[in-house]
C-alpha cells in the first residue's frame, strides 16, 4: 500500500467533505487498487478449466 498524505476539507461544522492527495500518491493508489483487482481476478480464474495451447492454435488456424 502506498504511503498517503491526505488533506481533509471540512464544512463549517468541521465535518469532513473531501480529501486531497498529491497527484503522485493518487496515481500510486490507483495502481495499487488495479493490482489488487488483478490478483482477485487471478484467484477467481485459478479454478477455471484450462485449454491446451495446441487446441487453441488449432481452433484459430495457427
pLDDT computed for residue 47 by the predictor: 85
Q: What is the pTM for the complete model shown?
A: 0.66
Query: What is the full per-residue pLDDT of the chain (62 aa) written as tens digits?
Result: 889 999 999 999 999 999 999 999 999 999 999 999 999 999 998 888 989 999 999 999 99
pLDDT computed for residue 52 by the predictor: 94
Please spell the DSSP secondary structure of 4-36, one letter per residue.
---EEEE-TTS-EEEEE--HHHHHHHHHHHHHH
Residue located via cell numbers 493490482: 35
Amino acid at each position: 500500500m502506498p504511503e498517503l498524505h491526505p488533506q481533509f476539507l471540512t464544512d463549517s461544522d468541521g465535518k469532513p467533505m473531501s480529501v486531497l492527495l498529491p497527484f503522485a500518491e493518487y496515481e500510486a493508489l490507483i495502481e495499487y487498487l488495479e493490482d489488487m483487482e488483478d490478483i482477485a481476478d487471478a484467484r477467481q480464474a485459478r479454478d477455471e478449466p484450462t485449454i491446451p495451447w495446441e487446441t487453441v492454435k488449432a481452433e484459430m488456424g495457427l
